[in-house]
């Protein structure tokens, strides 16, 4: 029969190991293994931004090996245990009381709160109803049902502090992967203030404006690889105004191609209209 040896550590040995692990630069096993805790949570939305992440396939799975996923409904059905979080990614609009409660709770638990997508950041497609008479909108959508109540759509930052925004409808999966490591390290990334035109020209596209086709690209924040203009569609601004946008000049250019009404209608698609109004208010003098 083989001899089994058991080494019992003395109290001194245990104490000296513990004090060694607490010295700066020396990690204990537990801290070395601790992964940042994240959630990806959807409020009221189409969940398209979350699917943009799943569309990354293996790249997304590999990125998730670096984190502890506490909640992501599209991947698993585990109960969120309510623990503290390093980063909370939030998609969609806080439209219901349950949404608002979830959002406030996520903010309380998270070191960094990131909004993902145009809905959460700018109101998105649901915000179209803010620009029209509520009763007419409800009647238009629910022709045969009465008693439907709706309220004004408000972006996430009306309810909680937002640390970082990943723009787009949907978000760009590659951009998520690009900024994820910084966020996990507790830092807030900075998206370069480049227009969509930069990527559009790099992609070898002929500028649509030359053919009098409307495109909002020059005043919109790049980072989507000019996915619309690559297909011959004008940019409609789902990533929002870039910090250095010259809305006045852009509007004047576009109005040589489209009517005031067409301009307004386009800016309503992705919740750009109120941002343009705010820009004009801030640059009125």
Contact string (CB under 6 A) for ligand SF4, positions 50-89, x = contact: ----------------------------------------
Paired tokens of 21? 């692990």
Map the footprint of ligand SF4 across residues 114-133, applying CB under 6 A: 117-119, 124-125
Q: Does 276 bind ligand SF4 (CB under 6 A)?
A: no
Q: How many residues are recorded in the chain? A: 285
Cβ partners under 8 Å of residue 164, min gap 6? 112, 114, 115, 179, 183, 188, 189
Map the footprint of ligand SF4 across residues 172-231, applying CB under 6 A: 196-197, 200-201, 205, 207-209, 215, 217-218, 220, 224, 226-229
Q: Does 242 bind ligand SF4 (CB under 6 A)?
A: no
Q: How far is the CB of 186 from ligand SF4 (least distance, A)?
A: 26
- Token look-up 């010259």 returns 246
Q: How far is the CB of 139 from ligand SF4 (least distance, A)?
A: 23
**Under 8 Å between Cβ of 159 and 94:** yes
d(CA 190, CA 164): 9
Orientation angle between helical segments 247-254 and 273-282, nearest 10 degrees = 120
Q: How far is the CB of 151 from ligand SF4 (least distance, A)?
A: 18
Q: How far is the CB of 167 from ligand SF4 (least distance, A)?
A: 8
Residue 265 sits at φ, ψ, to 5 deg, of -60, -40
Paired tokens of 276? 């343009």
List residues binding ligand SF4 (CB under 6 A): 45-46, 48-49, 91-92, 117-119, 124-125, 168-170, 196-197, 200-201, 205, 207-209, 215, 217-218, 220, 224, 226-229, 235-239
């Amino acid at each position: 029969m083989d001899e089994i040896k058991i080494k019992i550590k003395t109290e001194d040995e245990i104490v000296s190991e513990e004090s060694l692990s607490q010295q700066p630069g020396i990690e204990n096993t537990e801290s070395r293994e601790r992964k940042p805790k994240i959630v990806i949570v959807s409020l009221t939305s189409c969940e398209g931004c979350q699917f943009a992440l799943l569309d990354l396939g293996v790249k997304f799975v590999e990125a998730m090996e670096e984190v502890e996923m506490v909640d992501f409904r599209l991947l698993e059905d585990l109960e969120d245990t309510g623990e503290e979080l390093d980063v909370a990614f939030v998609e969609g609009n806080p439209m219901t009381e349950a949404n608002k409660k979830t959002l406030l709770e996520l903010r309380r638990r998270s070191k960094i709160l990131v909004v993902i997508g145009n809905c959460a950041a700018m109101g998105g497609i649901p915000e179209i109803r803010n620009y029209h008479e509520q009763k007419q909108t409800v009647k238009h959508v629910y022709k045969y049902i009465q008693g439907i109540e709706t309220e004004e759509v408000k972006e996430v930052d009306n309810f909680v502090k937002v640390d970082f925004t990943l723009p787009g409808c949907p978000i760009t999966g590659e951009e998520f992967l690009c900024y994820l490591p910084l966020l996990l390290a507790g830092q807030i990334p900075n998206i370069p203030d480049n227009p969509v035109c930069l990527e559009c020209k790099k992609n070898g596209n002929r500028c649509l404006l030359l053919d009098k086709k409307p495109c909002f690209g020059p005043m919109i924040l790049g980072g989507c690889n000019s996915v619309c203009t690559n297909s011959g569609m004008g940019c409609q601004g789902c990533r929002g105004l870039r910090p250095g946008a010259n809305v006045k000049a852009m509007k004047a250019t576009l109005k040589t191609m489209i009517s005031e009404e067409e301009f307004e209608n386009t800016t309503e698609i992705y919740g750009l209209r109120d941002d343009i109004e705010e820009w004009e208010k801030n640059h009125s003098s």
